[in-house]
Amino acid sequence: MIINTGGRTDTVNYYGDWLFNRFREGYVYSRNPFYPTQVYKYVLSPDVVDCVVFCSKNYSPVLDRLHKIYDKFNVFCFYTITAYGEDIEPKVPDIDESIDTLIKLAELIGKNKISWRYDPVLLTKKYTVSRHLETFDYMAEKLSPYVSFCIFSFVEMYKKLEKNMPEIIPFTSEDKYKILDGFGKISKKYNLKLQTCADIENYGEYGISCSGCITTEVLSRALGVKFRKIPHHGNRKNCKCMPSRDIGAYNTCLNGCKYCYANSRPDIAYQNISKHDPNSPILIGNIYKDDIIIEGKQESFLISQQSLF
């Protein structure tokens, strides 16, 4: 199975103590966001956890202790660095600081285990097509030697996004063409593999592939392992990722990104973090008497060396 630590919140940035406590104790609880009294328990053991997938906008708080996990587990890291400043991503380090941290991360775990995420791509009066192309080129030149590939996506206009970020300018066909053409040429210039995320469109003519972020192909190439054939249905519409289990919680990320789909309101994360206990087996709150504990289904997707013979 795949453990995902960053799909619902930026765990390594804000909840590092809790995360390392969970791996030290060897188990974790995860509350079902749709049925809150259902709590899944997962054993954190290399016997059943094929890979721990991280996704963050700031790995600096855990760089000095990440070895406690990657010494025992396979890991893969997604690092999100975009063109936006504090006006859109209030608590995210600036571009150059983020680039420096990614390079340090690559020196620890190797470029094959890192993917740079430049997403979502959105337009405002400040963040124009030209600015995206200029910033993407600047970052691609610096990051291409330290990542295995880059992922980008066009912003999805969720209803709450229309409320939280009314300054967004809808894409025209011409806007998308300029970005696709420009990104494709830039990635080719720096020998950077580029792909989209959760998109059904075919951008092959621009040198851009369409795939899942977490796939058996990606992890096999990064980790030097072989996976069984398993469905890649993902967790949302058009997602082509393999199954994973997220141990985070929605409405808990403090980055404050205006486009965030994981927080229903910018302020609600600060209300929830008051309930966080780094020693609890679950990210927010604890296990309560009405909770129903469900042993999460755990099995390795790997083809063992023994089974090959």
Sheet holding 27-31, edge to edge: 27-31, 38-43, 292-295
307 Cβ contact list (under 8 Å, min separation 6): none
pLDDT at 307: 41
d(CA 255, CA 251): 11
Q: If you average pLDDT over residues 149-159, what whole number do you get? A: 88
Separation CA 165–CA 25 (nearest Å): 41
The SS3 call for residue 56 is strand
d(CA 275, CA 291): 17
Tens of pLDDT, residues 192-233:
999 987 666 778 898 998 877 788 888 999 999 998 887 766
d(CA 39, CA 35): 9
Query: How many whole angstroms separate alpha carbon 175 and alpha carbon 129?
Result: 7
Kindly report the average pLDDT of the chain as a whole number. 91
The average pLDDT across 249-276 equals: 90
pTM of the full structure: 0.93
Beta bridge partners of 31: 39
Alpha-carbon span 83 to 278, nearest angstrom: 32
pLDDT 10s digits, 66-123? 999 999 999 999 999 999 999 999 999 999 999 999 999 999 999 999 999 999 999 9
